[in-house]
Each structure stands twice: as structure tokens, then as C-alpha cells.
Structure 1
Amino acid sequence: MNDYLCMRHLEAVEQESEEIEHIIQYEKRPGLERPHPRETRVTTMAISSQPPPDSSQASIGRARMNRNVQPFPASMLDHCTVCLEEQLFSQAIALLSSGLTSGTCTSRPSQVPPIPHLALLATVAVHPSLTTRTADPTKPQAADDALRYLRHVSRLLSPRAAGLDKAFHFTAGSDRNDRSKRAKDRKSETAEVLPIDDANTIRSRYVDQESIWSNADDFWSVVGWAFNCSVKYKHRWQRWRAWLECMLEVLEADLHERTVDGTVTDSLLAQYLLPIGQGRNSKRRLMRAILANGSTKSLAEFNEIWRNETRLAKTTTQTANKKRKLDLDNDEFGDYFDESDEDSPATTARRSRSATAFSSRKASRQPSGDEDEGSEDESTVFDNSGMLGVEAFSGIDSIALRQRIVALLVRFCSTAPQLLLDVEDLFDLYTEFIRPLRLAAFEQFVVPMRAYLSIDSQCSLIQMLLRPLLTSSAPTYDANALTQADFECCYAPFTASTTSAVDNAKVSLLIEGLMRLLWRTGNLQITPRLRKLMGAGIEDRQARVEFDGRRKTGLKAMEDEEAVLAMQASGERLRSVLDLCAT
């Protein structure tokens, strides 16, 4: 029996590794949407008569071993640390992985490295000099290995026991440009909160001045910049998307564990929400980060994490033709210490434990440490000003990640509203941002193909969106639980308060969403009254749409045409649901 269980577990771990590798391979192929693991993507809205699984448990419902944890053996840790300092990341990760998975089918604890090692790997997984700004094929592979290891840690162990809640700690800072000061502050804060002996330290620029934890102001700065990249810088989004997915797995698992233990105030998400102020305007920053769309305003608020992050790798021709002068008086060293040699063995040695005083002075003059001079590839930069629908938010995958963050905030607020907002206020803030969205994007945010919110939360969100859109003749509905009688009385037969095609299409989509929720919970009964009211509502919304005599062109004309088609399609789906449920 033990051999059988061992074999089953190894098969599960191998399958998980294949899924992550599958994700990474898709991320390396531009222009392709990554299918969700173990899920077949459909192009139309799926109708299910069964209630969906509780989305609050969707991500943490994976097989989690929650094994006991013990420190990494000193001798192996020292060897691993040397590899990390010499930037032999894949070799170090191979050692760490062996300690994580060895003895899986026994009572032997998993071996995890100290906090600085985990923090460094999170930087390695996404740093531009190791991913999109290097021509060395071994560096992106090391970044993939780092991401894979962190995901295995988060799925096999409790984030708290593994130390991920302490390793993934941002240093809040108000001055984005003073990076060296923040790095120094982070080191002193870490020393105060998490005492670490010298044996566990790593002398690497990816631990201090180049660390994501000291370069980003907070988690929401990263979220905003990552979603800006999803629209404006596709090559960077490929890396940020995988990093965000890993972070969300950790946040979800940690919040679940803290909720069970009654220690939500100590959760990693609670730490990330600390820099958010108390006022409503301060909390709007959360939604601006989640809905960042690459606009000029959004880029001004959520800018790059590392200097010149979006630059691509220099070509061989650029490097060969580049000439730099030698001017020692002005600290211009020509080709000496050139960035093309930044990761050479000699340069790496200078940054290791035997670093010289001169290399330290050089590092202090160039805190960013790896700024390439390659030009930005214009083909990877887009203007979203004319984009319609989901492409304004970089497509379905990007929107799904945004919804996942909102669902995480909903679970947090339902458990500890005093730490941020109650759920109703959170939805009020959320709807303020998504109500004005163009129709196709609006549809994906409020009635998505895969919902991350629970049925009750989804119902509350839809009703909150409907209230200001519905005509004044519709009765006000403020109850928490929606019944079919309430649906018939307050929603089904009504139009929007305006003659706008967009507003009436949104009302139709929201009413369709409520009807589907009633069906999924088994509370929808097809009666002659329901058919009559639904038919009247569909016809009245289409008849309500009026166009003035002026001929519309450009974006406005496209929006109106899109709205009319969407409203007609929604009406047909509503009738189809009635016919299907009646059989």
C-alpha cells in the first residue's frame, strides 16, 4: 500500500510539473492564449444545471501535502548559497528541489531554505536581465526553474511553515527613484523583524539593490505594472503573468490557512493591504491597479519596477558596433565593466564573498546594475486607445487574473472587514470602475465564462450594477437573497433608464446573469408568468433603443453596432434557457 501511495504521489507531482512546463512553453510563444490546465476553453457562455464549485476554494483545493518542515542541511545550504552567488541558479534550484521532495512518501519533513533564498528566487523568476533582456538561453531557463520551484513549495507546503509569508515581503517606500535607500531600509527592517545569521545571507545584487521586494513600492505597484505590461509590453507580460499566478496561489493558500486558524490579521494579504490608506480615495488605488490598462494615466501611476525594464536583449551587431569612451575622471570606463560582461565568471566572482572594494564602489555608482543599451522593440508596444472589448485589457487570460484578485479581496473582506472594507463597500468601489467599461469587457467582468466569485457574491455584484442602470419604474430591491419572485418583480421585464443601446445591452446581460444564477442554484421554475415577463423585457429593451438623426462614425458607431448585436444575442440566450429548462 505504501508503494502504491508513493507511486500515486510521484505521478501527481510529475503531472503538476508538466502543467507548469506547459504554461511556460506557451508563454514563450507570442500571440497564443494559454489554455487553463485541465480545462477546455469554450468560445460561448457555458450553461450548467449544476452549481459551480465554491470559487473560494478553487485554487487551494489542489492536493496539498502540508508536510512538516525542517531547515536545509548546513553543508548543502552552503553549496547552494555559493551557486546562487555565482549565478548558477539552475544548479542551486536542483539542490533545493531534492530537499523539498525527498521522503515524500514517508514521515520525513521537507527541507526548505532560509527566507533570503526564497526571496531571491522570486526575483530571479521575473527579473528582466534573466528573462527578456538577455540573449543567453540559460538565463530564462533558470528563471523558469525558480518559478517552478516556488510553485511546488506553495503547493506541497503551508506557506507559513515554508516561510513564504516572510520571504514575500515588500518594503513600502514613497520615493520610487531612491532605490538604493529603499534597499538599505529593507535590509535594516529584515534584520529587525527576521534575524538572520551570516551563514544564511546571500551576497548577490538580486537580494538587495536588484530585488523585486526593494524595487517595488508594494504589491499593488507590481500588480498595476504587470497589467500595464499585459497591454503595452507583451514580452514582459509573459513573465509577469506566470509570476502573478504563483503569487496568487500563495496568497490564496495563506489566507485560507489563516482563516481556519483565526489569524487573518497576520496573513500575507493583510501585510500587502497595510500601505493602503483609510479613505475611499486611497482604496481606489487597489482598483486602479487591478484594472490597469496601459493608458498614459495608468502608466504614470504604475511604472516599471526596474529601470529600463522593457528593453530587449542587445543583438550581437549592436554589441560589436557599440563604442564607448574611456574617461576615468568622470567614471567612464569604456568597455571595462560593460553590461555585456555583467554575468561573466570574472564579474560574478567580484560579487561573491570575495568581492573587492573597487567592485563595491562601482556597484554604488550604478545601483541598477544591469542596464542594457538595447533599443526598445516597437513591435511589442501598443496603443490601446482604439481597442474595443477584452483587448483593451489584453484578453480573457488577463481579465481572469484580475477577477481572481478581486475574489481574493472579497474573501478577505468577508472575514476581516475591519482591516479594509465590508463586502458591500468593496463591490461599490469595484462597480464604480467596471460600470463605464465598454460592452465586451464589461460582459467578461460581470458574467465571465469562469466565475471566481461565489454564487452569492456574484449575485450581489450583478444587483449592485443593475440598480443605477434600471429605469425608475423598477422597484428597489435591497434584500440579500434573490428569489424567482423578486427576479420577476424587480428585474426581468425592465429596460435601462436611457435609450442608449449600450446601457440596454448591459441591462440585458446582467438580467441574463441573474437568471443563470437562479438556474444553477435550482431556484428557477419555468412558469407562464416568467415567460411573459422575460419576453416583454427582451422586446422592450430592443424597442427602447433610439438613434438620433446624426450619422455616427468611428468608435461610437462601432459601440452602437456591438451593443445591438450583444442585446439580440442575449435575448436569444434567455429564450434558449427558458426552452431548455422547460424540457
Structure 2
Amino acid sequence: MELSTSLTTFDTMSTPGSFYTAKDSPPPLGLLADTSAISSPIEPDDEPPFIPRYRDTTELPHELKSHCQIHIEEEQYAPAILLLEGLLSDGNTMLPRGGRYAATLQRPKPARIPPPSHIALLSTLTIHPTFTSRLVEHNNSIAAQSMKYLRGLLATAGPVHANLCEAFRFSNGRVDGSHNRRWGSSVSGNRSGSPDEESDSIGGKLAVEQSLWQRAPDFWSAMGWAFHCSVAHPHRWRHWKVWLRFMVDVLEKDWDERLAQDQENHALGNGKEACKFPMLQRSLFAAYLDDLRKERKNVLREVIRSLFAFVDNDQASDKVTYKEVFDRETATATSRSKRKRADTVVDLENNQFGDYLDADDFDFSAEEDDSKQRMPKATTVPRARRGRLPRREQRESALTSTSITPNPRGEFGVPEGVAESIPLRLRLFRLLSNASFYIPNPFTSTAELYETFADRVRESPLPIFRLFIESQSDALPREVCVSLLRQIVEQLLPTNRPDPDDVDPEINSIHGLSFVMMQKCFLPFAAVTITAEDNAKLSLGLENILWYMYSQEPGLPGTRLAKAIETGIKARENKIKDKMKRTRTAASGAHDPADMAREVLDRSARNLRVFMDIF
């Protein structure tokens, strides 16, 4: 395999260019290719070439590490974080050494990094209810300070040099002190093992029994519970989404850095042999997938299940599968003005919370009866502007919408937390796509992954489907969007349409799209079913594909494509004409689901006709 080959090869085909999902992909006609890496922290052109992307790192000296550990074990987290922040920023200034600007900077000295056990504890502080939703006065900024340090560590040292793979490993529910180990070797080559094997150990329940990495069986279970909170416990989702965004950033940057090192090492070695990607096999994301293998679970089924947790109306099985991570996690303080007794003892290490966890101070109704859970406010699905090209900047992201009132014209919405989670689900899908291609023993083929994921998107309720479709441009590269959209659209189209392989075999062999394929095989048809919802989904998929293709080659197709667009619009309208009933629910005044689907279909048809005017 060539190192410049896209990761998106279709495993069942012989050509290595199928299913474009990564950088450095040669674009076929009509399919745009993205050359950006996943969340690359610094572009090469933004800095002198001899300066590394991340700083080298070194272990904390024994005295400083012991000093920090004492603060942590005495639950003086703020001084410990301030100490670590100062050590991280120390020596980060570029020093002048004469000559032109490109030659005036010398490398900063290695950053001093705490052991993985300390980093793991800080991550627990960012999400533990004691420091987030069950705040006491002296803990009201610990979670924010911890996250600030972790993000600074990720940006400065990077995930590989900071040994985040060791710090962020789940222990599968076993209290075995897995984070209290000696440091291993680092890619920077300047970190040696600790002389005292036990010096990295941290005492206390927050480092062991109450550690996030001990409480959750694996990453996918923690993510599933986070998505549960996005639907049923918004006060917890407020904090889980911060943690989840950080973890996705870590997974992406860890993958990027390891992929670049594998490619560089392979280029310096024997370029004739296929690259085995040894660094990627030791990535954090590969470890999370391997956790499921060790539990003898079907990896593809489990990851897809967690990615689509709590996005549809049938959430009973998800509630059984994804349980809360911490004890009584959903409890919220209802009174903080209660006068505390003089003999009240607060000792987190010994699980003594004084009267902060008294029944009078917390509301447990949310966990007693799921049917009475408070639902978050709905986020309105954005409208496309009439009569204008639905440009990306004109499409308001559902994540930034603060509307909590139903649109007077009947626009329907989804819970705000679910809308915020969609880009995270899509970013994790791209990592899965990478893993299915690059790892020598993948958890599934790229073909099966795309087919399974597209099938779940297609089966989602129309508002969720629309969010998945319209959030792709912000969460995925363009070529990934086109590949995924084609997979979704093909599942909605009838089987008796022209075969793309007969129309454009060259582009179809790499699972690409061309305008002639769109004209003859996709645009002129209605959905295979007569439901308004499926026809609306098909129209949305076609609309977004055309937008991506138009941004690649504006104005090329001509009148034939415009005719195919109009034929398809009329075919979909005729398909559902006899089944549509515009009724309103008497109790709530909300639109019937079929009526809502018709509104989406009409709006998408207007957007498609905009393309007719510009082609």
C-alpha cells in the first residue's frame, strides 16, 4: 500500500482508492478531496520547519513529584494544579540566537510532565460530581482548573510525549492500581524510569475506587452514559460533554501523531515493504477497541450501539445498558444555605461527606422514576433560506441554536443535548473508519462499517437524520461526507435504477461520484418506499451531495442535470401524494409526523431548484 493512499479503501475491492476518508487522497472527477489531517494542532507552514510540533518531555524530579503528590493526597488540588501549570509553561519561550527569523529560534527545553497516575486523577476531577454538579464552596473551580491544565498539556506536549495512553486507560472495573505504575519509554527518548517504583502511586478513593478509569468498564460505556445524560440529565451532560470533547480531541491527535511517525519511520526505512503501522497499533483508540475484544464482545456492534445511544424514541434498552458511572451521580443540591453543624466532618477519602449528601439537600427524583425525568429544552432544527444556495455559512448549526420555543410554522426539534452530541458521534465515526483501514487486524471491514453506520443513520427519526446530514460538514472531511451520503442515499433508492457501474465504471470502482452518475442513477428517482419521511431523507441526502460537488466544480453540469433534478422532485411528490394527510394533533397542536416530513420535503425541493438555476 502506498503511504499516500487514502485509508478508505473498500476491503472487498482491489483498488486502494475506494471510500475516501483520509488525507492525501487523489480526488476523482466530481468528488472533492480534503487534504487536512484530523485536528492537526499546528500546520507545518505556520512554524519554522526545525521546531517540533510538540515539546519534548521529561519526568518530574523526585522532589517535585513528591511535593505534588502530597498536595493531591491532602486534597489540596488547587496548589497541585498551579504547580503543574508552572512546570509545564517553564522554558516554553523561544530564545533568539541571531540571524534571520527562521534561524533565530531554538528549541524550548523539555516540559516537565507528571506521571500517568496524576494525570488520570486530574481527569477524574473534571467530571466527578463532587467537583461539578455537587459543588461545595472550596471545590467550585477544581474541575475547570483541571481541564485547563489537561488541555494545556495536550497542546504543549501532545498525547504521545505526555503518555496519555497510559493515563487514560480503563481498568475494566478492576481496582488494580493500573495507573500507579512506572513510566515507560517515550518517543522523545529522554524519559527514564523512576528510581522508586512506588513513587508514582497516589492514595485516596478519588485515585482508586472513585476514579473514572475504575468506575467505568470502558470508554464506550462512559460515552453511552454521557449520551444518556444528554437526554435525561442535562445538569450532568453540561460536564460530560466537556470531558467527551476533550477525549475525542485526545484520540484524534494521538492518532494523527502516531500515523505521521509511522509514515516517517517507514519512509526512512524500507519503502518497498508495506507499512505495518506499529505506532497506530499502540494508539489509545486502538486500545479502546481492544478493550471490547478482551471482554469477548462484538466490537462493531458495541461501538455502533454506543454511537447511536439515545438518538431515537426506543431508549429502553439503552437505559439498561448504560448506567451511571459514579454513585448517586444524578443527585443535585437543592439547598446550600443550610446551617452546618459544628461537628460535621467532611472527609472525601473515607467517604464522609458531612451533611452535603443528606436527603434534604439533594433531589433524587430523577433516578427514582425515569418516566418523570426532566427533559432538556428542544433545539430547533435550522431552516434553509428560500431561493438561495444553501451555503455552509448560511446553515446555522443546531449546536449554536438557543431557541426553546417551537417554531410557529411547525418546525420540530430535538433535545438540545442530542443536537450537541451529533458532531462528537461523527468524529468518532471517522476514527473508526481510520481504524478499519490502518490497523492490520481491524475490528471490521471498511465496507461493513460504512454500511452499518449508514443504515443506523437512515433508520433514525427525521429530525435526528437531518442533524446527522447537516452536521457532517463541520465534523468530517468532505470526501468522508460524500462517501457516507452516497451509502445512505443508495439504501433509500429503488434497485431498478441504472447501475452506476454501467454509467461511470472508473469512478464507481473507487466508490466515488460524478455528475453523470448523479444525473442518471440518483437524482431522477423517488425513494423505494411511499412514506413521506423516506422521500424527505432522500431529498436531503441528494441536496447535500450536490452542495459538496458544486463547491468542487461549480457550473459544470449544464441543463441535463437540472432536468434530472426536476424529474426527481416531481417523482417524490407523486410518490407520496395519495398518502399525505395534513392533520394536526388535537391535544398539543403539533404537526403530524407525516406533515412534518412533507414540510422538510418541500423545503428541500426548493433548495434543489436553486441548483437548477445555477447549473
- TM-score with structure 1 length normalisation? 0.76
CA–CA separation in structure 2 for the residues paired with 1:451 and 1:413: 22
Tell me what 1:124 maps to. 125
Q: Return 5+ residue gaps in structure 2 as ranges.
A: 1-29, 47-51, 95-107, 185-193, 263-276, 367-371, 381-411, 502-507
Tell me what 1:253 maps to. 253
CA–CA separation in structure 1 for the residues paired with 2:68 and 2:463: 49
Q: CA deviation at 1:318?
A: 6.4
Q: Which has the higher helix share?
A: 1
Is contact 1:293-1:393 (8 Å) kept? no
Other structure's SS at 2:560 match: helix
Q: 1:416 to 1:451 in 2, by over 3 A?
A: farther
State the one-letter code of the partner of 2:38. Answer: Q
Is contact 1:515-1:524 (8 Å) kept? no
User: How does 1:94-173 map onto structure 2 within 5 Å?
Assistant: 94-106=82-94, 107-136=108-137, 138-173=138-173
Q: CA deviation at 1:454?
A: 2.6
Other structure's SS at 2:112 match: strand
1:376 to 363, 380, 384: 363
Is contact 1:234-1:381 (8 Å) kept? no
State the one-letter code of the partner of 1:72. Answer: L
CA–CA separation in structure 1 for the residues paired with 2:444 and 2:337: 55
Is contact 2:332-2:362 (8 Å) kept? yes
Tell me what 1:31 maps to. none
State the one-letter code of the partner of 2:280. Answer: V
- Match status 1:306 vs 2:326: yes
Is contact 1:151-1:246 (8 Å) kept? yes
Tell me what 2:600 maps to. 566
CA–CA separation in structure 1 for the residues paired with 2:281 and 2:440: 11
State the one-letter code of the partner of 1:470. Answer: L
Tell me what 1:407 maps to. 430
User: How does 1:516-535 map onto structure 2 within 5 Å?
Assistant: 516-522=547-553, 525-535=556-566
Q: CA deviation at 1:547?
A: 4.3
Other structure's SS at 1:468 match: helix
Tell me what 2:445 maps to. 422
Identity %: 26
Q: Return 5+ residue gaps in structure 1 as ranges.
A: 1-48, 174-181, 322-334, 352-358
Number of residue pairs the alignment of both structures matches? 487
Q: 1:501 to 1:308 in 2, by over 3 A?
A: same
- Match status 1:288 vs 2:305: yes
Q: 1:270 to 1:444 in 2, by over 3 A?
A: same
Tell me what 1:538 maps to. 569
Q: CA deviation at 1:100?
A: 0.6
* More divergent stretch after superposition (449-458 vs 64-73): 449-458
Q: 1:307 to 1:370 in 2, by over 3 A?
A: farther
Is contact 2:472-2:481 (8 Å) kept? no
CA–CA separation in structure 2 for the residues paired with 1:443 and 1:508: 11
User: How does 1:159-198 map onto structure 2 within 5 Å?
Assistant: 159-173=159-173, 182-183=174-175, 186-187=176-177, 191=181, 197-198=197-198
State the one-letter code of the partner of 1:90. Answer: A
Q: 1:189 to 1:400 in 2, by over 3 A?
A: closer
Other structure's SS at 2:500 match: coil
* More divergent stretch after superposition (115-124 vs 459-468): 459-468
Superposition CA RMSD, Å: 3.4
CA–CA separation in structure 1 for the residues paired with 2:71 and 2:171: 26
Tell me what 1:228 maps to. 228
**Partner deviation per Cα, 1:335-367 (whole Å, 9 max, x = no partner):** 98x6xx32xxxx37xx5xxxxxxx6xxx6xx99
CA–CA separation in structure 2 for the residues paired with 1:530 and 1:117: 60
Q: CA deviation at 1:491?
A: 0.3
Tell me what 1:177 maps to. none
Q: CA deviation at 1:412?
A: 2.2
Other structure's SS at 2:58 match: strand
Is contact 1:125-1:147 (8 Å) kept? yes
Q: CA deviation at 1:498?
A: 1.8
Is contact 1:446-1:510 (8 Å) kept? yes
Q: CA deviation at 1:544?
A: 1.4
Other structure's SS at 2:441 match: helix
Q: CA deviation at 1:198?
A: 2.7
**Partner deviation per Cα, 1:263-320 (whole Å, 9 max, x = no partner):** 2110000110012249995422212212221833212101100110010125246676
State the one-letter code of the partner of 2:76. Answer: L
CA–CA separation in structure 1 for the residues paired with 2:561 and 2:112: 61
Is contact 1:413-1:419 (8 Å) kept? yes
Tell me what 1:453 maps to. 476
Q: CA deviation at 1:370?
A: 9.1
Is contact 1:414-1:423 (8 Å) kept? yes
2:532 to 494, 501, 506: 501
State the one-letter code of the partner of 2:605. Answer: G
CA–CA separation in structure 2 for the residues paired with 1:386 and 1:103: 47
**Partner deviation per Cα, 1:509-549 (whole Å, 9 max, x = no partner):** 11112212211222762311111111111122112113449
CA–CA separation in structure 2 for the residues paired with 1:130 and 1:385: 25
- Match status 1:394 vs 2:425: no
- Match status 1:264 vs 2:254: no
Other structure's SS at 2:259 match: helix
Is contact 1:221-1:289 (8 Å) kept? yes
Tell me what 1:78 maps to. 66
Q: 1:573 to 1:222 in 2, by over 3 A?
A: same
**Partner deviation per Cα, 1:391-448 (whole Å, 9 max, x = no partner):** 2572432211111111221222232263212222111121232211111210121232
